[in-house]
Structure 1
Amino acid sequence: MAARRIPMLGLVFLLCWAATTQAEYMKYKDPKQAVNVRIKDLMKRMTLAEKIGQMTQIERANASSRVLKDYFIGSILSGGGSVPAPQASAKDWVEMITTFQKACLSTRLGIPMIYGIDAVHGHNNVYNATIFPHNIGLGATRQAQTITSLGFLSLTLYSEIMIRRDPGLVKRIGAATALEVRATGIPYAFAPCIAVCRDPRWGRCYESYSEDHGVVQAMTELIPGLQGDVPPNYAKDFPYVAGKNNVAACSKHFVGDGGTQKGIDENNTIIDAHELLGIHMPAYIDSIAKGVSTVMVSYSSWNGVKMHANRRLVTGHLKKKLGFKGFVISDWQGIDRITTPPGANYTYSVQASITAGLDMVMVPYDYPAFIGTLTNLVNQKVIPMKRINDAVRRILRVKFVLGLFENPLPDPSLGDQIGKQEHRELAREAVRKSLVLLKNGKSSNEPLLPLPKKADKILVAGSHADNIGYQCGGWTIEWQGGSGNITGGTTILDAIRSTVDPATNVVFSEKPDADLVQSNHFSYAIVVVGEPPYAETAGDSLNLTIPEPGPSTIQTVCGAVRCVVVLISGRPVVIQPYLPVMDALVAAWLPGSEGQGVADVLFGDFGFTGKLPRTWFKSVEQLPMNVGDKSYDPLFPFGFGLTTKPAAAVQN
């Protein structure tokens, strides 16, 4: 009997040993293993279907547990305005993403998906989140000497002069944004936009920090804000995310999107390689050095070649020459637009984009067509398996660095980070520093600003004075933005009322008539007008005029009362015809949810310090016109901005 038991015990031992050994070989589940070891182990277990699934990003509205499992989907996104429910809470977001993630974890290999969202000026899709100034305003947040004659300066020299700024502000904004994004269970933000806008007629110009690449390079400090600081001796070309309070960042849109002809969105950028590399590429070098996780490709073309199909730049320059090790993602249906009309030859579009070096494709709806087409191209050996493996390796690298394999599910304890007071105070500070004072008094002896808080009666007028949606601009709650109280915050009118002396009578009229203005003996007026919200192509403008009733409100009010005009816009617009009638002019850009920052400076609690991140033209016929051009004749030059001292400092 004893002799028969030994083989049985041995068999049990062998089975246990085999099971243990098999578990040990699943190195990708072991956080103690090096990232590259984990990637290699996981990839050798993956089928072609699982690999192509990782390369596919679908829209939230098109996602379900069944779809995620059946197609091994690697990523989900919320397009502009795509939310789980109107005014969804952090809890609503967390519950939705948890459901999606659990479906992905239930697949054979349990690879977590990565959820992405356009958090481009705060967590702007989410109701009641903190909305920071758009990038053009942040580009103005720097203090430097005012130089009024720039004709002799080269672009590079002027960049060096203007480097004295506070990139720490955008870094703090990045960290605050990351916390609010994580509060909804999302680990990936499609930011920052590091386009160098060379023509304000472009509808995305407010997404650009400046016409000057030096300013844009400095503002890549948003990346360590979002992702955390890259540790010393860390591989500078390797993506880096510090922890669960940080998110993966995305530098976009590669490359030259801000240089299209006449500022037409998704158009052709016609410049030589020297200009492309010297103006539009430097911020990508900075981004990679700061460990950026992903890069998004532009809809635009360079000298007639669509960027989504440009192997020379995506693979040859970004990946090989610059050594970028994160993943490259398409824009929304970006590969479809390789052809004209979009989708005319989808097989070619898939082949051209993947061959060019795109790793993840924002489909976002017809995922079966993308997956089926790419699978056929691989099976027919049109696209080599080596290219698929490179794409998947890059995607998995970001997921491992992000910690998704160890912490795939949202953390519900962060819900109180949405719109928290500390973040709103930071946004208010950013607004104060972004304001650029372009005119102050009809002569140097009669400045209007700062305004006195105590007055008998003042007029606040204009379409943008009491409108959160207008002061936030596009990419806020909805893709194109909206009008009215679309989210939480403080309007400029509310801020004025809370700042002036309680005895001051504040009269508000969105569109005052001449009788109201002339019969009330106002001490002064604040006129708040500007552009309506817009995003992308919808914002393209060949005339850059302020729509009515803005111009008529300026003329009616400023022709009768001492007035300051606060201009809400995503770029310089035509103002020269109205300038003589104004006593003061403030470029407030798109300040976001915290209008109190505008009142802080108007009434002298803080001084004006902002400097123009863009050249302000006299007429659109001059465009494109940028600092360093031979024929440089601006209304206000790049870097211009009058300064004031706080009222208390003046009184003392």
Structure 2
Amino acid sequence: MTQVENFGVEPGDIAKYHIGSVISSANGAPVDNTINGWYNMVKGFQDEALGTRLAIPIIYGIDAIHGHGQLLGATIFPHNIGLGAANDADLVQKIGRATALETMATGIQWNFSPVVAVVHDIRWGRTYESFGEDTDLVQKLGEAAVRGLSSVNNLERIADHHQIFLLSTAKHFIGDGATSWGSSEQNIKCTMANGNKVDKVYMLDQGDSQLDVNTLRQRLLPPYSAAIRAGAMSVMASFSSWNGQRMHAHKELLTDELKDRMGFEGLVISDWDGIEELRKTPKGQERDRTAYYHSCVDAINAGVDMAMLAKDWLLHIDVMKEAVQKGDIPMERVDDAVRRILRVKIMAGLFERPMPDASLRQHVRSPAHVQLAREAVGKSLVLLQNDRSALPIAATARIVLAGRGADNIGMQCGGWFIRWQGMLGKVTPAVRMPHNKWGNAGRPTGGTSILDAFRKHMKSDVDYVVGLPDNSKRWEVAVVVIGEEPYAEGMGDEPNPTLTEGDVAALAAMRPRADKVVAVILSGRPLIIANHLHLADAWVAAWLPGTEGEGVTDVLLGTHPFQGRTSVTWPQSADQLPLNKHNTWQGQALFPFGHGLSL
């Protein structure tokens, strides 16, 4: 019932304390960030578990939410917000399977994905992890993602009970995308993609969903029902609350609704130190044992089967033993949780094959996966505006690329890429590892930037401008790639998601220097652009497309058509937020849900 962080245990701990699961957190890559490095790390933990008396294998988990984002050289697909715009269930299922193959190639058999939240407010920093604001859309694509990640075909089945390929996780149960602005109590300090250290007060993430039960059941529950039908055997509890009650202690929803009424037979896992959040220890203070004891009792009795622990996992084990001995956690509840965990491990075939086949490494960034990612990028692009027929661009045109995102794999990938908060550029930054080691600095990320893609496919020279353009030069087309720097979770809660001053300046500088200007937005949500539309002829929402920039040029050069449609409402101004299809007339939006032009 305990999941520990890979860097939080010492050799021998897995066997000594009978640990059942290990996680690589969002900054949990091994010093040797290669396929071999990952596989050997996981195998070390697994070998310890198999050496115990009962030889019960661990199950190793990770957040591979748009591909195996922490593995250098993996195929990184568009974040879910882009896949929602593509609205292609078959494509999402194929991406799920590709993600499963690349993740299992590193020894990992549990993915904390997909997010099946229905987004109510684009100010939420996790908007891009969702497929959109429409329940039916999220339900359809979430189900497809689970089938891709978890389904087992006859050739893959190693035993009659082997029903899980890679364990998928529907999350975050429930209401994480429907919280009210200002309702969060979280405060996090971390280093952002640009290297700045930020002390952030969350506003939406981990906040309170203030909805009636009918709205919750009609709007938020269907994607979970679909995911469970598709084979999801893991559900993650949400940090958030529902009408003031924390989900990690919500027996009515975790047990009565999810397990009993919906018939979920898998396991419920906490979020990252989610149990502690029930009675949070103030920063800088040691964890209050009595407070944690009561939090643990509340969470386990509410229906949490496994605790994901960032720290103090020994305290958790000690508290669990005491609570069971005192009868505060009934033995029947422990038996139920263990039964669920073992059921999942059996269905995943872990007892027959504790480690995935090492031959799966051939799939990591295979030509087929790169092509699949490129296809996904092309299908996800949304043409918001195309004045003066600025698109498509002729391959012979004299063009210039400009903007922060033009040659920036990190901006293309967004959060959950290499590190929790992502990175910038095309070369990895130094990452502090345990024991004061530094790893993975100066290594290429893999992939193709939008600039590199244009230079590969244009029949004329492609200029690239950093800063102000040369006033002596003029181009037929300027492609300006702008948008958001990477962020993850509540670090991206933003009251006014809009263009930076630098983005606006880049557009304005190109306006008099090019016959036509095309603005390409890299972002995890709609940005406020109404006052800047005049600075470009064409506006394209590229979302967070991942490593394959050629998918962008495929569409901008007219090789493939624009197919994407907005899966969230695009507001005119921040004053309208929260704005979605459930709370406004679509005529008030700059671009309504489902908007997208064709050529």
The alignment's TM-score, normalised by the length of structure 1, stands at: 0.82
**How many Å separate the matches in 2 of 1:360 and 1:230?**
28
Contact persistence 2:162–2:346 (CA under 8 A): no
* 2:66 aligned partner: 121
- The answer to whether 1:275 aligns with 2:215 is yes
Q: Which amino acid aligns with 1:608?
A: F
- The CA deviation at 1:128 is 0.3
Counterpart CA distance in 2 for 1:388 and 1:512 is: 64
Q: 2:462 is matched by which residue type in structure 1? A: V
- Counterpart secondary structure, 2:480: strand
String of CA shifts for 1:183-208, please: whole Å, max 9, x gaps. Answer: 10111111101111110100000001
SS at match of 2:541: strand
**Aligned pair partner of 2:494 in 525, 536, 541:** 541
Instruction: Please give the secondary structure, in 1, of the residue aligned with 2:74.
Output: coil
- The equivalent of 1:571 in structure 2 is 525
Distance in structure 1 (CA, Å) of the matches to 2:451 and 2:6: 37
Structure 1 match to 2:193: none
Query: Within 1, Cα distance between the matches of 2:19 and 2:336?
Result: 17
User: In structure 1, how many angstroms separate the alpha carbons of the residues matched to 2:513 and 2:252?
Assistant: 60
Letter in 1 for 2:447: G
Work out the CA distance in 2 between the residues paired with 1:530 and 1:283. Answer: 30
Residue number among 172, 178, 183 corresponding to 1:259 in the alignment: 178
Partner of 2:386: 440
Distance 1:533 1:301, change over 3 A: same
* 1:459 CA drift (Å): 1.1
Q: Secondary structure at the match of 1:261?
A: coil
1:174 aligns with 2:174: no
1:9 aligned residue: none
Report the CA distance between 1:292 and its aligned residue. 0.5
Q: Is the 8 A contact 1:465 1:510 kept in 2?
A: no
Q: Are 1:474 and 2:420 matched, yes or no?
A: no
Residue type of the alignment partner of 1:117: I
1:317 is aligned, of 257, 260, 274, to 257
User: Who is 2:2 aligned against?
Assistant: 56
The answer as to whether partners of 2:161 and 2:346 remain within 8 angstroms in 1 is no
Q: Distance between the aligned counterparts of 2:577 and 2:153, measured in 1? A: 40
**Aligned-pair identity (%):** 45
**1:452 and 2:452 matched:** no
Q: Which has the larger radius of gyration?
A: 1
For 1:81 and 1:484, locate their aligned partners in 2 and report how far apart those are by CA, in whole Å. 18
Give the deviation of 1:548 after TM superposition: 3.3
Aligned partner of 1:228 in structure 2 is: 151
Counterpart of 1:84 (choices 20, 30, 48) is: 30
CA contact (8 A) 1:134 1:591 kept: yes
Tell me which of 435, 447, 457 is aligned to 1:489: 447
Note if contact 1:511-1:549 (Cα within 8 Å) is conserved in structure 2. Answer: no
Match status 1:305 vs 2:258? no
Q: CA deviation at 1:560?
A: 4.0
Tell me the residue number matched to 1:635.
590
**Is 1:202 aligned to residue 124 of structure 2?**
yes
Q: Go from structure 1 to structure 2 and tell me whether the alpha carbon gap of 1:610 and 1:631 turns closer, same or farther (over 3 Å shift).
A: closer
Structure 1 residue 391 and structure 2 residue 369: aligned? no
- Residue 300 of structure 1 aligns with an amino acid whose one-letter code is S
Shift of 1:551: 1.3
State the partner residue of 1:415.
Answer: 361
Could you tell me how far apart the structure 1 residues matched to 2:208 and 2:511 are?
A: 42
Q: What is the one-letter code of the residue matched to 2:100?
A: A
2:343 and 2:559 map into 1 onto residues whose CA distance is 48
**Conserved? CA contact 2:414–2:485, under 8 Å:** yes
Match of 1:286 among 223, 226, 247: 226
Letter matched to residue 447 of structure 1: S
- Distance between the aligned counterparts of 2:85 and 2:46, measured in 1? 40
Residue 407 of structure 2 aligns to a residue in which SS?
A: coil
1:210 and 1:541 map into 2 onto residues whose CA distance is: 18
- Other-structure match for 1:372: 318
Q: Would you say the 8 A contact 1:187–1:248 is kept in 2?
A: yes
Contact conserved, 2:67 with 2:99, CA < 8 A, in 1? yes
**How far does residue 241 in structure 1 lie from its aligned partner after superposition?**
5.9
**Aligned equivalent of 2:458:** 500
**Separation of aligned partners in 2, 1:418 and 1:230:** 20
**1:559, 1:629 → 2: CA distance?**
40
Q: How many residue pairs end up in the alignment?
A: 547
**1:558-597 alignment runs, 5 A limit:** 558-561=511-514, 562-597=516-551
User: What CA distance in whole angstroms lies between the structure 1 residues aligned with 2:359 and 2:513?
Assistant: 55
Mark the runs of 5 or more structure 2 residues left unpaired by the alignment.
155-159, 182-202, 429-444
1:131 matched residue in structure 2: 76
Offset at residue 631 of structure 1 (A): 4.4
What amino acid is the match of 2:149?
L
Question: How many angstroms apart in 2 are the aligned matches of 1:413 and 1:467?
Answer: 32
CA contact (8 A) 1:555 1:578 kept: no
**In structure 2, how many angstroms separate the alpha carbons of the residues matched to 1:299 and 1:230?**
35
SS at match of 1:549: helix
Q: Secondary structure in 2 aligned to 1:618?
A: coil
Aligned mates of 1:548, 1:422 — CA distance in 2: 39
Q: What's the CA shift for 1:363? A: 1.1
CA deviation after TM superposition for structure 1 residue 109, in Å: 0.5
Q: Distance in 2 between matches of 1:291 and 1:523?
A: 52
Q: CA deviation at 1:229?
A: 5.8
Q: Which residue of 1 aligns with 2:467?
A: 511
Residues of 1 paired with 2:224 and 2:37: CA distance? Answer: 35
Deviations, residues 326-353 of structure 1 (Å, cap 9, x unaligned): 0000000011111245655111110110
Whichever residue aligns with residue 596 of structure 1, its letter is E
In 2, the alpha carbon distance for the partners of 1:551 and 1:305 equals 43
- The aligned runs of 1:607-626 (5 Å cut-off) are 607-626=561-580
Preserved CA contact (<8 Å) 2:235 2:269: yes
1:98–1:410 Cα contact (<8 Å) kept: no
The CA deviation string for residues 525-570 of structure 1, in whole angstroms up to 9 with x for no partner, is 0000100000011111001122231111112213442110000000
Once the two structures are TM-superposed, the CA of residue 230 in structure 1 deviates from its matched residue by 8.7
SS of the aligned residue for 2:518 comes to: strand
User: 1:249 maps to which residue?
Assistant: 168
Q: Distance in 1 between matches of 2:338 and 2:362?
A: 35
Using the TM superposition, give the Cα deviation of residue 178 of structure 1 relative to its aligned residue in structure 2, in angstroms. 0.6
In structure 2, distance between residues paired with 1:527 and 1:248? 40
1:527 to 446, 462, 480: 480
- Amino acid aligned to 1:123: H
Query: Secondary structure at 2:86's aligned position in 1?
Result: coil
In the alignment, which residue of structure 2 is the partner of 1:26?
A: none
**SS of alignment partner, residue 383 of structure 2:** strand
SS of equivalent residue, structure 1 residue 139 = helix
Unpaired runs of 5+ residues, structure 1, are 1-54, 143-165, 232-238, 645-652
